[in-house]
Amino acid sequence: MWSTILLAIPFMLFLTVLQTAVLPRFPIFGIVPQLPFLLAVAWGLLRGPNEGALWGFMAGLTMDLFTIAPTGGLALTYTISVAVVSFIINALPTNRIVMPMLMAAMGTLIQQILYYLFLQLFGYSLSVTVVASLLPSILLNAFLILPFYWAMYVINRTLWPKPVEL
């Protein structure tokens, strides 16, 4: 597990800087995708809920460093949502296209709802535009998960190949 933590740190820092500094200038349909979250979901789908939750926490923690919202909100919601979808995928059939898309959509929905509740708890009000961007955000993340999933699949197979069984 420590080797995956060392792998996650540079990935999360790079994607967080990319998401917060570059992508707001080039939104896709007016929405900035959640790159660290997508990477954590992809890793959780491949490696299970324990490592997925750890990567989700690291993604949320790095994103919390760049937001003005209460610290810990993204770390908490990313951890929970990645752990939930990583746990659910174990009960579903294996598929490299449809299941990652469904799990990314479900994870985004869970994360966004939990984060909105977290912000409400701390007295932040939500505008109609934030709530209206929920569906486009879910759809965008569902389609953008595929490159992350396939890249993490290759990295996972390269660094931790399955042992040959007779």
Average pLDDT over residues 58-82: 95
Each residue of 130-161: pLDDT tens digit?
888 899 999 999 999 999 999 999 999 999 88
**Burial of 107 per CB tally in 10 Å (0-12, 13-18, 19+):** buried
Strand partners, 31: 28
Residue 69's pLDDT is 86
Average pLDDT over residues 78-94: 94
Q: What would the two tokens of residue 131 be?
A: 């709530």
Residue 42's pLDDT is 97
Number of Cβ within 10 Å of residue 79's Cβ equals 23
Q: What would the two tokens of residue 106 be?
A: 């479900």
Each residue of 7-47: pLDDT tens digit?
999 999 999 999 999 999 999 888 999 999 999 999 999 99
Output 68 or 80, whichever has higher pLDDT.
80
Distance, in Å, from the CA atom of 120 to the CA atom of 131, rounded to the nearest integer, reads 13
**Burial of 130 per CB tally in 10 Å (0-12, 13-18, 19+):** middle
Average pLDDT over residues 90-114: 94
Distance, in Å, from the CA atom of 24 to the CA atom of 115, rounded to the nearest integer, reads 20
Residue 108's pLDDT is 97
Average pLDDT for the chain:
93
Distance, in Å, from the CA atom of 56 to the CA atom of 79, rounded to the nearest integer, reads 4
3-state secondary structure of 28: strand
pLDDT at 162 over 80: yes
Is residue 5 very low, low, confident or very high in pLDDT (cuts 50, 70, 90)?
confident
Residue 96's pLDDT is 87
